[in-house]
Structure 1
């Protein structure tokens, strides 16, 4: 077991650092917006979720670059990886017109979801700016697949750290602007853009990653060994393979992200305060959840390798090691959420009073108090969230991608159908809003639990041990 744990940590830690930096950026980004204008944080949460729903199918397709590159390495055909990367680049660039069209229709999208009128302009402008970086996010996923597929995960971690730091610096400058008092001047802040600045900072950071990966790939040792320049052409067969294997992964991302976004949008109908409190709680949830995505990727890669090379017994040992590490990590956060909710939420106390959708000043302590209670829900499901994430990665690594997709789709549809059909009656400005808020958090919690049960049942059933993708 010690050997299995060491192997999992060696592959997973750089990926956890990379995804962890992303979660840190999200947390600080939304916290800055809370300090600037509390309602902007809730708007950024809703718009950011919709942004991910719109791009995740394409990100899922691009993510197969790493798996296919790994198989080329195993087959001794490294020179074909360059052509694969170029197909991923063409695919990424082809998504840009679609993303810009979606951004152009941002207000209609949020009006259709029934958001409060005060939030829609902020959500729309943030979403519209983010869509300029959609193709960059798809492209960086594809190019980072080269480094994961060739087992150079440290490069991914380094680029992610620098991208995250760039985003944080730009956030501070563009959200709050420059204060003339810093150099002895007078007057209002210069370049204070608020939520628009947050979007611009994110887009710049999105494009920073593929530029860095491209510069690294043009180094002679990569350019010659992997045929980076020789592969500069269109290959219909390779493009078809990329889309064929990546489409189920993309649909799986869309299913889960879509269900989560619908729940957040349903909460957004309850008003600014419930949405702000939800965003605070989700921010801390993301800090625990997103690094586990790196662990899931590591489990997927190692299970796929050992099933082919060493057999199911060695693959199962890596699964157990990944679960033990994930459970220990998630348990630490569960204890923090349960016993330290007040301390964690106190990080948001620097925010100014906000205006509600009715134009009335709200008491920030109301959102803080509600968020403390919502962290109790996160404490309940965080261990099961870790379980479903790792086991879903294991099943994908074995090739059981269609079950992961169908299980996630079925659970999500059932959860949302029950949530919408049985939602308690509520009216803005009354205690019934609290009842509806708790209802949707119970829906979220039961959704995560159901995903964990579905993935665990499939894992224990054992058919994944006989699956092969090569």
Structure 2
């Protein structure tokens, strides 16, 4: 590694077309991978709407809380790819196996905490003011998901190996297989099977949806383990030889990963507080919010793939070629993200009725019909912030890839706290649903503004993680 590269803005430049193609090479498999996850979430909640509208509402509130509870370890594990990218850029591939083991140990260390959370699930929902009619459903969903939580964190760490060495097609195929498994399990476990002769699998509703997700989490983790055991990985990256505990490497991962996890926690916590506040307004507002966010997730989650590509390429090029080349990769990722999110913005504004018709085919009860009417209007809020969401996500990924993780955390904490204070202090008495959706749009606008300002400031150009 040559540290002087990081301050040489004149070195390492390529054409913008080359930068775009490199980002696409890494990001497209991740787009498909994360897009598969978003479609699975969409299918999961749509199936639950067909089964029971209250189950769909409960899955939204409980699923958001699940993410809040696991995003700290997931955030730490997610830095595995960015740091491995810097090991690749520095020509230190022989250290990658040892480093990957540290990410595995951290993932497994959270097991007791997840078990404790599952035990106290009903209390968590009651303390947030959820309607008693939803608490049982929400608790069931969360408890099953917590069984899969360790698998989720572990597969995040292991997939970081493949993103870090820029073999993102592996992540794509594993995610496609996992997504298909999840959808099939959803259909079977939510609605049941049979009777076939003397055998019948009863409908399990929301518990079946959670069980399907849990199996999918562990399926991905196991597949990654099998792939990592291939001899070519053992020889080049010393995966088996690297077995053991290495405190300096663990400390390095925690130092750069902890603020990422806390940032995820801050963002997810702020968003979940807003969703739970909407949930306290009743089942119909929460159901409408779930429907709108479902379509938001279909657009948002694939952008995580572009963000990961931005992070990995930033880490590699910053060490290998310098800030100019790293900046080109980020601009290329932004171009892809802006084109993608603008298409979705047009869809939310032009064809909201077509989107909502996917729900109308599944329901007939008056509550769901009213929720669909409300959700159609909420898509306008999504259209307002979807492009800004792409900007903040990609730039935050780039800053993390450079090692500027503590600013990403600080910016997220300040913005989330500010929006929640505004939301609770000035909340109107008569239209809480639209007020909190306005707060969501404001929140994302402020995040995009802060990440843009930090990236333009350029302190990241002198940072290192290896």
TM-score scaled to structure 1, two decimals? 0.92
- 1:175 equivalent among 154, 165, 190: 190
Matched with 1:50 is: 65
Matched with 1:248 is: 259
Structure 2 CA distance for partners of 1:464 and 1:81, relative to 1, 3 Å: closer
SS at 1:179 equivalent? strand
Are 2:118 and 1:103 equivalent residues in the alignment? yes
- 2:386 equivalent among 362, 369, 382: 382
SS at 2:193 equivalent? coil
Q: Name the count of aligned residue pairs.
A: 451
Query: Matched residues in 2 for 1:130 and 1:396: separation?
Result: 28
Q: Is the 8 A contact 2:193 2:201 kept in 1?
A: yes
- 2:33 equivalent among 12, 18, 23: 18
Structure 2 CA distance for partners of 1:461 and 1:89, relative to 1, 3 Å: closer
Report the alpha carbon displacement of residue 353 of structure 1 after superposing the two structures with TM. Answer: 5.0
- 1:150 equivalent among 165, 175, 178: 165
Name which of structure 1's ranges 57-66 and 435-444 shifts more when overlaid on structure 2.
57-66
Query: Matched residues in 2 for 1:442 and 1:76: separation?
Result: 48
Query: Matched residues in 1 for 2:321 and 2:92: separation?
Result: 22
Q: Is the 8 A contact 2:83 2:315 kept in 1?
A: no
Q: Show the 5 A alignment for 1:318-357.
A: 318-352=329-363
Query: Matched residues in 2 for 1:163 and 1:344: separation?
Result: 25
- 2:406 equivalent among 402, 405, 408: 402
**1:12-65: per-residue Cα shift (whole Å, max 9, x none)?**
111111111111111100110011001111100110111111111101111222
Name which of structure 1's ranges 157-166 and 81-90 shifts more when overlaid on structure 2.
81-90
Matched with 2:178 is: 163
Report the alpha carbon displacement of residue 128 of structure 1 after superposing the two structures with TM. Answer: 0.7
SS at 1:233 equivalent? coil
- 1:205 equivalent among 213, 216, 227: 216
TM-score scaled to structure 2, two decimals? 0.93
Of structures 1 and 2, the one with the larger relative CO (CA 8 A, separation 6+) is 2
Structure 2: runs of 5 or more not aligned = 1-15
Report the alpha carbon displacement of residue 186 of structure 1 after superposing the two structures with TM. Answer: 9.9
Matched with 2:375 is: 371
SS at 1:118 equivalent? helix
Q: Is the 8 A contact 1:37 1:352 kept in 2?
A: no
Q: Show the 5 A alignment for 1:267-278.
A: 267-278=278-289
Name which of structure 1's ranges 435-444 and 394-403 shifts more when overlaid on structure 2.
394-403
Structure 2 CA distance for partners of 1:71 and 1:384, relative to 1, 3 Å: closer
Q: Show the 5 A alignment for 1:75-114.
A: 75-114=90-129
Name which of structure 1's ranges 448-457 and 126-135 shifts more when overlaid on structure 2.
448-457
Query: Matched residues in 1 for 2:235 and 2:401: separation?
Result: 30
SS at 2:27 equivalent? helix
Q: Is the 8 A contact 1:38 1:353 kept in 2?
A: no
Report the alpha carbon displacement of residue 318 of structure 1 after superposing the two structures with TM. Answer: 2.1
Structure 2 CA distance for partners of 1:4 and 1:82, relative to 1, 3 Å: closer
Query: Matched residues in 2 for 1:130 and 1:405: separation?
Result: 26
Query: Matched residues in 2 for 1:119 and 1:107: separation?
Result: 10
Report the alpha carbon displacement of residue 299 of structure 1 after superposing the two structures with TM. Answer: 1.2
Matched with 1:192 is: 203
Q: Is the 8 A contact 2:83 2:465 kept in 1?
A: no
Q: Is the 8 A contact 1:83 1:228 kept in 2?
A: yes
Matched with 1:41 is: 56
Q: Which runs of 4+ in 1 moved over 4 A?
A: none
Structure 1: runs of 5 or more not aligned = 355-361, 426-431
Query: Matched residues in 1 for 2:251 and 2:321: separation?
Result: 30
Structure 2 CA distance for partners of 1:394 and 1:82, relative to 1, 3 Å: closer
**1:38-93: per-residue Cα shift (whole Å, max 9, x none)?**
11111001101111111111011112222332333344443332222222222222
Structure 2 CA distance for partners of 1:312 and 1:224, relative to 1, 3 Å: closer
Matched with 2:227 is: 216
Are 2:410 and 1:417 equivalent residues in the alignment? no
- 1:266 equivalent among 277, 281, 285: 277
- 1:30 equivalent among 40, 45, 52: 45
CA RMSD of aligned residues (A): 1.7
**1:93-124: per-residue Cα shift (whole Å, max 9, x none)?**
22111101101100000000001111111001
Query: Matched residues in 2 for 1:75 and 1:397: separation?
Result: 14
Query: Matched residues in 2 for 1:209 and 1:108: separation?
Result: 31
